[in-house]
Amino acid sequence: MAKTSNLSFRDINITFKKHPVTDDLVVSKDNAAIKQSIVNILLTNKGEKLFNPNFGSDVRSYLFEPLDYATAAQISNNIRYTISTYEPRISILSIETNPNFDENQFDVEMTYEIIGSDAPPTTIELFLTRTR
């Protein structure tokens, strides 16, 4: 199957701002829509979405675990499982999660490619930290 770059993805922008000319909601397109979807999936706790209690990830539950490489590996595994389950438009190439002892957080770098597209791989950086 040959890759093609004429795939198009659209989603409502999470800011819910209106377009200054059309007064419609601003739309996220293509790679921005996929990035937004990934972040939404990872920041949704399991049980938080009505009528779909398995949707989401348990990433936040790891933030109160020890800040070490074992927890970082569990976070990577959870992200890989969650994204492969709920975001079928991408294929994960790599996930690197490291404890950041100075900032008391986990630094996550995920690289993925859009399935069926010849667009270059995209990298997302996430900083997972406890907030009170």
User: From start to end of 2-132, where are the E strands?
Assistant: 10-12, 27-29, 90-100, 105-114, 122-129
Alpha carbon distances (Å) from 76 to 66, 84, 119: 15, 12, 24
Q: pLDDT by residue (tens digit) across 59-117?
A: 999 998 999 999 999 999 999 999 999 999 999 999 999 999 999 999 999 999 999 88
What pairs with residue 25 in β-bridges?
18
Please report the pLDDT score of residue 119 as a whole number. Answer: 86
Taking each continuous run of H as one helix and of E as one strand, the counts in the chain are 2, 5
Domains of the chain: 10-129 (3.10.450.40)
Please report the pLDDT score of residue 49 as a whole number. Answer: 87
At residue 126 the predicted structure's pLDDT band, cuts being 50, 70 and 90, is very high
Closest to 90 measured CA to CA, from 68, 124, 116: 116
Q: pLDDT by residue (tens digit) across 38-52?
A: 998 999 999 998 999
Residue 65 DSSP symbol: S
